[in-house]
Amino acid sequence: MAKILVPLDGSPNSVRGLDKAIEFAKHDNSSLTLLYVAILPPVHIIGHSQDKVKKSLAKKSQKFISDAEDRCTNQNISFTTKLIYGSDPPYDIEHFIKKHPHDMVVIGAKGKSTLKRLFLGSTSNYLVQTLKIPVTVVK
């Protein structure tokens, strides 16, 4: 059984990536890891404790995460959900994969960070260029 990582950010493209990952998982009985990277702002900017900010971010992401879990459950797909906190999603995803090996990544072509993509390149492009495992980018 293969392990497929599915980075999610709540965008319509990440949902399309999840749907494609579900198709792959059905075909070869793979399990999915639904990964949501919550962006932590620098502490000096927020004026609150990191624990308070993490709770707020987890609450904001819960609706989207629950919807993704429901999609997997409705299709009888084995999955785990991971919520991590970071500051740079491409790097955070890469670091997660190094710590928790997967056989493949399925990701939406464009997420929510339009402005950042203009300056730094997209998350999907970064992962295609740096990971040593197959990356499927879904438009």
Q: Strand runs (DSSP E) across the chain, as ranges? A: 3-8, 31-39, 79-86, 104-108, 135-138
pLDDT of residue 47: 62
pLDDT of residue 51: 81
30/122: higher pLDDT = 30
Kindly state the tokens that stand for 119: 């300056």
pLDDT of residue 118: 47
pLDDT of residue 122: 85
Do 19 and 4 touch, CB atoms closer than 8 A? no
* Number of domains the chain is built from: 1
pLDDT in tens, 89-132: 999 999 999 999 999 999 998 755 555 444 434 889 999 999 99
Q: Domain containing 71: what range?
A: 3-138
Compute CA distances 125 → 15, 17, 135, whole Å: 18, 14, 10
CA–CA dist 125, 130 (Å, integer) = 9
Output the domain CATH number for residue 21. Answer: 3.40.50.620
CA–CA dist 19, 6 (Å, integer) = 10
Helix, strand and coil in the chain, % to nearest 5:
50, 25, 25
Q: What is the mean pLDDT of the chain?
A: 88
